[in-house]
Amino acid sequence: MLDYLVSIALTAGIYAIFALGLNLQWGYAGLLNFGHVAFMAMGAYVTVLLSMNGVPLLLAVLAGMILAGAAGAFLGMATLRLREDYLAIVTIGFSEILRFVLLNWSTLTRGSFGLFGYPRPFQDLVGIRDYNLFLAGLVLAVLLLVYILLETLARSPWGRVLKSIRDDEAVAISLGKNAFSYKVQALALGSAIAALSGSLLAFYLQYINPNNFQPIETFYAWIIVIMGGSGNNRGTILGALILWGFFSTTRFMEGYLSFSPTASSGARMVLIGLILIGLMMFRPQGLLGRKEELSIGR
């Protein structure tokens, strides 16, 4: 039972961090990032590859975050002067290109064989038996830090400018705010946070492979953000908990049903889809979102 709770805490915690990055971009700045998984993959691969070559883990994690942040900023600078949907197309394209590069650059990444046997934080100190429990604690501590960081920013004048851009960019500009720069900042910061979640995911899985970073991962983050309520950090964390709680309890029940594994994973996605549709019909603002924010009409 403890193992079960620890595994939920790990996946939900990691995906909560991942989705908090997206919530900053979509919930606060209104940016359509459909390639969020790319930045998670960058975090995982940069951390693993550097640490395998002797770079201290903390530096390796930071390097992944910086690289992902720079990539996010670059994509933003290339597309944000265009209409908002261009960012969506370019980011989804970027995430697939990155996955294929990881699959095919086998001298560096060992392609679809994946990477394993890489260092994990404090693995010698903690020992393998309690490692997941320790890692769950680490993930929750990182989640708390990221949450505090994002809440502080959301309540600051910086967050106010982001929200104004989401609501009406022309107003922000007319009041002297450099909307373009803020959007690039939000993209970079959100991408760096995704990279951090990628490093943690690599520590948890002990084995990474380009196919861990399929586009569906991006849409898990979207489900989490929408379910919890866009623009609400606490809602995002709750959304992650519900999504992974749902995935693991349904996996639990597989034993009682005579579904094949592929059929049951398909059935899970169908169920999640139905839940989302139901939520949009009866609680479109998400679980913790504010109704007033939606009903305010133009």
User: In the complex, which residues of this chain contact another protein (CB under 8 A)?
Assistant: 149, 152-153, 155-161, 163-164, 166-168, 170-179, 185, 189, 292-293, 296-298
Tell me how far, at minimum, the Cβ of 231 lies from another protein, in Å.
8
Closer to another protein by CB, 10 or 188: give it: 188
In angstroms, give the least distance from the CB of 255 to another protein.
46
Residue 104 or 156 with smaller CB distance to another protein: 156
HEC profile of 221-271: HHHHHHHHCCCCHHHHHHHHHHHHHHHHHHHHHHHHCCCCHHHHHHHHHHH
Please report the beta strands in 122-210, taking only residues with DSSP state E, as ranges in sequence order. 207-208
CB of 274 to another protein, least distance (A): 28
Looking at the Cβ atoms of 153 and 208, the one nearer to another protein is: 153
Phi, psi of 207 (to 5 degrees): -155, 120
- CA atoms of 14 and 236, how far apart (whole Å): 12
With CA atoms as reference, report the closest residue to 235 among 243, 244, 226.
226
Element (H, E) at 166: helix 157-167
Nearer to another protein (CB atom), residue 262 or residue 295: 295
Report in angstroms how near the CB of residue 230 gets to another protein at its nearest: 10
The least CB distance from residue 156 to another protein, in Å, is 3
- Are 188 and 73 in contact by the 8 Å Cβ rule? The answer is yes
- The amino acid sitting at 39 is F
Closest CB to another protein among residues 133, 149: 149
Query: Which is nearer to another protein, 1 or 170 (by Cβ)?
Result: 170
Separation between Cα atoms, residue 198 and residue 59, nearest integer Å: 15
Q: How many CB atoms lie within 10 A of CB 283?
A: 15
User: Shortest CA distance to 220 belongs to which of 269, 264, 186, 262?
Assistant: 269
The nearest distance, CB 188 to another protein, in angstroms, is: 9
